[in-house]
Amino acid sequence: MTLFTHELRLLLRSRMALLALLLVALLAAASVAAGMAEVARQRAVIARIQPKQAQDIAAVAQWVTATKDPGNAAYYSFHATWDAPAPLAFAALGLRDVAPYILRVRALGLEAQLYDGEAFNPELALPGRFDFAFVLVYLTPLFVIALFHDLVSGEREAGRLRMLDALAGSGRHLWARRVLLRGGLLFLALALPVTIGAILSHAHFFPLLAVLGLVALYLAFWISVTLLVGRLRWSSVTNAATLAGLWLLLTLLLPTIAHVAINRAIPVGQGVELTLAQREAVNRAWDIPREQTMQAFYAGHPEWKDSPPLTHAFHWKWYFAFHQVGDESVAPRAIAYRQGIEARDAAARAIGWLLPSVGVQALLARLADTDMQAQLAYQDRIRAFHARLRTYYYGYLFTDKPFDKAAFEQAPTFDGG
């Protein structure tokens, strides 16, 4: 411990080293604070939407119950769904920065509603959020380079290297102590803010332990890279320039090239294309015989085939039937779209085994439940809830059962799970 204390005093005498450690600690703390503020904002929005939803349904119920028309109830009732952030979401906001975490749906065609929130400005989304994942993946390697690039070369240039190596039995121990000390201080500067944030966010122990393990492994990778470059016996300036080039290559250039390659190898359309295709199918229903629409609907939903036949008057069940048929007409495209997204996500995770920056970012987003898998799981919950809505309202629409105030109170609600 005396030797470590001595090395610590020597390290803290270096203004550059002290400034680097303080700066990485401040950046880590600021990123955790920013992430927690964003998560708190999202939770507040979700909390506000639920009472507003109740007021909206009450307003619709007030005038619909006068006519007891289930079609009006189903058409004008919007039902809120939401995706609450996980406890560790503050560490890696992931897709929560661009994908909708609240979506209001009706019993109409789902595909036209599901991707309404997909549109965003890609130029604004490109830089990403300033969160802990950003500090760890992109900024931390620069601090590792600052602290380790001249670990040996600096002593050589100062004329002390031969003397240090000549110390009997202590040469290797000296370098090991310096590496462990600098790496340990960097780890503490990163680990303490994220641990405090996790405790305040009531995160579970094992996910937090996994995050800290990722921090340690990512630091170990970059420290190893700097030590390998240092063994080439170059000058400190050359070491720093070489390591900066490697940082640029491994964290920016290669991940960008890999992203472009994945997008070209696995072409996937936009969700808005599904929306347009579904709306075209829905609009076409106005131009074809209503019986043709009902036959297509009953073929897929025989449980409602005994519903009374249509008359010349407008009936809501026909309207909702062609929305259902519109969804089913684009179902193969929706499945292909989902499979394409999953294939891209799997390819990106595979790239993570080759590029540590990509792998660490993907694992952090997985632990924070903010990755593509989490977004698709939210869509699955919306689909399941929408199916319950349709089944509930169809029970009134296809039997001409009056829709009273009690029916509003019994309608399915989204539980957020």
- What's the pLDDT tens digit per position in 261-298? 999 999 887 777 888 888 888 888 898 999 999 999 99
Mean pLDDT, rounded, for 236-244: 92
Backbone dihedral angles phi then psi of residue 320, each to the nearest 5 degrees:
-70, -30
Residue with the bigger pLDDT between 118 and 207: it is 207
- pLDDT at position 160 is 65
- pLDDT at position 276 is 86
Residues 6+ apart with CB under 8 A from 356: 218, 221, 250
Question: Residue 102, SS3?
Answer: strand
Q: For tokens 């400034």, what's the residue?
A: 19
| 8 Å CB contact between 216 and 138 | no
pLDDT, tens digit, 9 for 90 and up, residues 20-54: 899 999 999 999 999 999 999 999 999 998 888 88
**Residue 109: DSSP 8-state:** -
pLDDT, tens digit, 9 for 90 and up, residues 327-375: 999 999 999 999 999 999 999 999 999 999 999 999 999 999 999 999 9
Mean pLDDT of the chain: 88
Residue with the bigger pLDDT between 183 and 127: it is 183
H-state helical runs in 267-371: 271-284, 290-300, 316-329, 331-351, 356-368
d(CA 407, CA 154): 78
Residue 251 — very low, low, confident or very high, per pLDDT cuts 50/70/90? very high
Can you give the residue ranges of every domain in the chain?
A: 3-17+136-236, 30-131+266-410
Residues 6+ apart with CB under 8 A from 100: 117, 118
Share of the chain above pLDDT 70, in %: 89
| 8 Å CB contact between 324 and 296 | no
Question: Residue 341, SS3?
Answer: helix
Residue 63 — very low, low, confident or very high, per pLDDT cuts 50/70/90? confident
- pLDDT at position 121 is 45
Query: Quick one: which of 227, 230, 231, 208 has its CA closest to 219?
Result: 227
pLDDT, tens digit, 9 for 90 and up, residues 147-182: 988 777 666 665 566 666 666 455 567 777 888 888
| 8 Å CB contact between 316 and 240 | no
| 8 Å CB contact between 86 and 369 | yes
| 8 Å CB contact between 87 and 202 | yes
CA 363 to chain centre: 11
Residue 126 has pLDDT above 60, yes or no: no
- pLDDT at position 190 is 97
Backbone dihedral angles phi then psi of residue 130, each to the nearest 5 degrees:
-85, 95
Helix axes 316-329, 372-397, angle to 10 degrees: 150
Beta bridge partners of 357: none
